[in-house]
A and B are shown apart, each in its own frame.
Chain A
Amino acid sequence: MNQPLFSFPGGLHPAEHKAESNAAAIVTVPLSGRYVVPLRQHAGNSAKPVVHVGDRVLRGQTLAIPDGRISAAVHAPTSGRVVAIEPHPVAHPSGLADGCVVIEADGLDEPVAMTPTTWRDLTPEALRERLAGMGLVGLGGAVFPSHVKLQPGQTRIETLILNGAECEPWITCDDRLMRERAAEVLRGAEIMRHLLGARELLVGIEDNKPEAAAAMRAAAGPDIKVVVVPTRYPSGGAKQLIQLLTGLEVPAGKISTDIGIQVFNVATAYALQRAVELGEPLISRIVTITGQVARPGNYEVRLGTPIEEVIQRAGGELPGASGHLVGGPLMGFDLDSPRAPVAKGVNCIIVTSPELFPPHPTAMPCTRCGLCAQACPVRLQPYEMYLYAKAKNLDKAKAYNLTDCIECGCCSYVCPSHIPLVDYYRFAKSELAARDRDQQAAELARERHEFHLLRLEREKQEKAARLGRKASERLESGSVAPDDPEAARKKALLEAAIERARQAKEAAAPANIDNLTPTQQAEVDAIEARRKQAEQKETTP
């Protein structure tokens, strides 16, 4: 336990509100009649459905496969019939509908054949292959596909960090998970270490969860270090936790693997353990239901259960409830429709009330007091970024490293003028991302247009050559009688056609074959040779 402890700049200590929900044990929510499984529950591309309306599916059956590298599979939470594949409200800040597979449960909860693995016998490659279709994503909230994070990168991973900090107020699902299922979490972490070949395994837990830390310590082997870190938001941010535990700072624009560190949430380790040791894909997660509800606590919920139903299981909303927050109060967002289902990234649902979350006071002008800069854990200058984002001067905001902002909300929290700073950063960041997308689309269009022009030119040239050849053949074969004046006119026309073809060929010499490298020249030569052959073939029959 002699792990030295470091620090990160800024941060704050808001009211914790953990006691409301961390006293009771995790409750498994009984089966629901209807599940709405979103096809996009992860960062990256939406999954591609492989089932059809009317199909009977079993628990754990693949509903949709990953589309592209950054994507994850989606599985059926229970057995039943697929009744629709359609847009449905989802837990997303936009409140927009997204593609979902709707399953009418048959109550039998019949599972597909799941094959447990003894992972120590498998090579990391074989194990990774098995995991790719398990739908595992980071359950801390970022929902990045785990199988991608478990690929070895260019830098060797020395340290694996298990993130049990759970720094955001109100949320206690990781706390309860570590208290009750520490052994499973740590077995999952061992599998991760096996996959990454990491030497060191650290577990970071905030000191407001002594029971969880004790349980993890009791379950941890001698080569796992459980480190208790001071309670300070946002210690659970991956980059902040790395800084706390190792003293290393992930450079701007880089990711933690570039400095040989990989971070996973404890819930992800637990899900990975189930996927490997039981062969069960990710079909359930633990969600904190808290705030203005009768029985706040942690509930193990099948993915796809409508949020309003989970709230009913928690005793229903108390009088005065005014809305729903998904995630914590600092980084979460307002839920548009409680009909939205629980997805992989939903770690906490807070039923709000005006007493618990008083309305935001009116924003006043920025006084440049600098409190936000002191609170920023990434050492940015929030007041400058705010001014430029407000003026929609995106380039300037980017120059102040807006893209390094982790949107933790510390600056908005401390702002004495009550400016919703993070709202401006989110706006500016998504505008920047959209601009990048447009730029890429323009680049593709330019390439395609240039090829289009090249193709037209080539076709013109080939047509001229073909006509010229035909004309010269007719001239030689003597099908045109010499003395006839009409024939002489035809002959002149043919000769003119041949001349035009020759000129077109000369004029249409490609402009981009000067100053070629030897390899390019070889490629061009090979293409020319093939074209000659093709032309010969065309003329011989």
Chain B
Amino acid sequence: MITAIVIMAAIGLVLGIVLGWAEVHFRVAEDPLVDKIDKILPQTQCGQCGFPGCRPYAEAIAKHEADINLCPPGGEHGIRQLADLLGVEFKPLGAGKEPKPKAVAVIDENTCIGCTLCIQACPVDAIIGASKQMHVIVADACTGCELCLAPCPVDCIEMQVISENVNSWKWRYPVFPIHHEVARAA
């Protein structure tokens, strides 16, 4: 009887020490789930989800504080990936959130007064310029978040939808006009 208690206590002690040691040495500083969610998000940093950037939104999702369907630029594909990752049901994009075609911001050089307000608003530092100098947007770095539109006092920034060109063109999903076949059969 006593031996049994001693053995059990010893086992408990050893396991406790191991667990305690592991708690210290294998500690994960940050939730790895946040990284995984952040990787799925489109990194536009637009804040349309109501969080100040993609990472804060990822953190909120990981803590179950935000829904997975708040990101319009990520689109349906993004929501599906998040649903797969988190093991929850897919749900359509939240109310009032519409996915827009991809666009880049363009500054009208004649109107720009060089106030630098848009430079401060840009989450990816894609606007080049200095006080009282004309500003220019680096199209390759622009994520199309539209955060520079509101601060501009002269409304000289415009979103231009990226039109399809020979390089970005995609083969279409094959569709077959049924009415042709019906007309021929008739």
Residues in A lying within 8 Å of B, measured CB to CB: 40, 46, 90, 92-94, 96, 98, 362-363, 392, 420, 423-424, 426-427, 429-431, 433-434, 437-438, 441-446, 448-449, 451-452, 455
Contact = CB atoms under 8 A, between A and B. Distances in A.
B166 A40 contact: yes
Closest CB pairs A-B (n = 3): A448-B124, A445-B43, A426-B171
B164 A96 contact: yes
B168 interface: yes
B171 A423 contact: yes
A441 B44 CA distance: 9
Contacts of B170: 427, 430-431, 433-434
A100 to B, nearest CB: 11
A180 to B, nearest CB: 34
Contacts of A423: 171, 174
Interface string B91-109: 0000000000000000000
Contacts of A420: 174
Nearest to A87: B165
Given A446-B54, A455-B125, A94 B173 contact: no
B105 to A, nearest CB: 14
A274 B19 CA distance: 75
A452 B171 contact: no
Nearest to A445: B43
B44 A445 contact: yes
Interface string B161-178: 000111111111110100
Interface string B57-90: 0000000000000000000000000000000000
A40 B174 contact: no
Given A93-B171, A98-B166, A434-B170, A442 B176 contact: no
B143 interface: yes
B171 A449 contact: no
A90 B45 CA distance: 37
A442 B37 CA distance: 13
B23 interface: no
Contact of B166 (A92, A430, A431): A92
Given A96-B166, A442-B42, 8 more contacts: A94-B166, A98-B165, A363-B176, A427-B173, A427-B174, A441-B43, A448-B125, A449-B43
A455 B120 CA distance: 11
Given A94-B166, A96-B164, A449-B53, A429 B171 contact: yes
Contacts of B38: 446
B172 A427 contact: yes
A96 B169 contact: yes
Contacts of B165: 96, 98
A449 B167 contact: no
A449 B51 CA distance: 14
Interface residues of B, number: 28
B141 interface: yes
Contact of B123 (A40, A93, A96, A449): A449
B45 A449 contact: yes
Contacts of A392: 173
B143 A445 contact: yes
Which of the listed residues B45, B124, B171 has the most CB atoms from chain A within 10 Å of its own CB?
B171
Contacts of A363: 176
Nearest to B124: A448
Interface in B102-128: 122-126
Contact of B43 (A96, A98, A426, A446): A446
Q: Is the interface of A mostly helix, strand, loop or mixed?
A: helix
Contacts of A362: 176, 181
Q: Is the interface of B mostly helix, strand, loop or mixed?
A: loop
Contacts of A427: 170-174
Contact of B126 (A93, A438, A446, A448): A448
Given A96-B164, A438-B42, A452 B174 contact: no
Which of the listed residues A94, A429, A433 has the most CB atoms from chain B within 10 Å of its own CB?
A94
Contact of B174 (A92, A424, A445): A424
Nearest to A46: B167
B124 to A, nearest CB: 4
Contacts of B45: 445, 449
Nearest to B166: A98
B89 to A, nearest CB: 18
B118 to A, nearest CB: 14
B43 A434 contact: no
B83 to A, nearest CB: 14
Contacts of A444: 141
Contacts of B124: 445, 448-449, 452
25 contacts: A40-B166, A40-B167, A46-B167, A96-B166, A96-B169, A98-B165, A98-B166, A392-B173, A424-B174, A427-B173, A427-B174, A437-B168, A445-B42, A445-B45, A445-B141, A445-B143, A446-B38, A448-B124, A448-B125, A448-B141, A449-B54, A449-B124, A452-B122, A452-B123, A455-B125
Contacts of B43: 441-443, 445-446, 449
Nearest to A514: B29
A400 B143 CA distance: 33
A430 B176 CA distance: 19
Interface string B140-183: 01010000000000000000000011111111111010000100
Contacts of A448: 124-126, 141
Contacts of A433: 170
B119 to A, nearest CB: 11
A452 B125 contact: yes
Contacts of A455: 125
Contacts of A98: 165-166
A430 B167 CA distance: 11
Contacts of A443: 43
A420 B174 CA distance: 8
A428 B73 CA distance: 21
A420 B172 CA distance: 13
Nearest to B53: A449
Contacts of A40: 166-167
A451 B174 contact: no
A455 B171 CA distance: 41
A451 B125 CA distance: 9
A94 B169 CA distance: 7
Interface string B8-45: 00000000000000000000000000000010011111
Nearest to A456: B120
Given A423-B171, A445-B43, A90 B176 contact: no
